[in-house]
Amino acid sequence: MFSKGLFFAISKILPAKIAYAHCDVPCGIYDPKPAQIAAQTVLKMAQVIQNLSTQNPTVNDKNKFVRCVLTKEEYAGKCKEELLILWTDYFKTEHLKMFPNLHETFWKAAKLCSINKQEVSLGRAKELAAAVDEIADIFNKTKTSTSKK
């Protein structure tokens, strides 16, 4: 009906504008990987902190302790931020029908991020990593169901 040649001729006189399909970020870049990396970093830091020498620590030991705590703090925060993006922006009502415990799962994972900031606990860090992996699994299942349509 409209030839591209005619369109481009008109567009030279009346330049076309770009319309986007997304209000904020392109949908395709939602990914649970950053949250998983952050959770694994928290776990690694908890392991390193617990293995640090508490008997007569050197200045370097003290420096390493502070750096590990800072990193744990930073990545627990990043993990929560990434989870909240997935929870509030990616997941929709349709996904709740497939995964009725979705809100509960996210809420617990977000709480674990805070707990891991407050504590140095291998158990809690492992719980966080497992909770984020579970969310990644849910995310991947929603992607599979989309591509089957």
Partner 1 sequence: MSPTFENGDIVLVNRLSYLFEKPKAEDIVIIKREKYIIKRIAKIKKGQIFVLGDNENASTDSRSCGWTDKKEIIGKVIAKI
Cβ atoms 69, 113 nearer than 8 A: no
Would you say 39 and 16 are in contact if contact means Cβ atoms under 8 Å apart? no
User: Among residues 93, 97, 100, 123, which is the contact residue for partner 1, using CB under 8 A?
Assistant: 93
Residue 19 Cβ vs partner 1, minimum distance, rounded to whole Å: 4
Candidates 50, 42, 34, 36; CA nearest to 130 is 36
Q: Print burial letters for 88-114: b (CB count within 10 Å at least 16), e (below 16).
A: eebbeeeeeeebeebeebbeebbebbe
Contact between 148 and partner 1 per CB under 8 A: no
Of the pair 95, 124, the CB lying nearest partner 1 is at 95
Minimum CB separation from partner 1 for residue 120, in Å? 37
Contact status: 7 vs partner 1 (CB under 8 A):
yes
User: Least Å distance between CB 46 and partner 1?
Assistant: 34
Q: How far is the CB of 144 from partner 1 (least distance, A)?
A: 11
Residue type, 7: F
- The footprint of partner 1 (CB under 8 A) covers 1-2, 4, 7, 16-25, 27-28, 30, 88-90, 92-95, 142, 145-146, 149
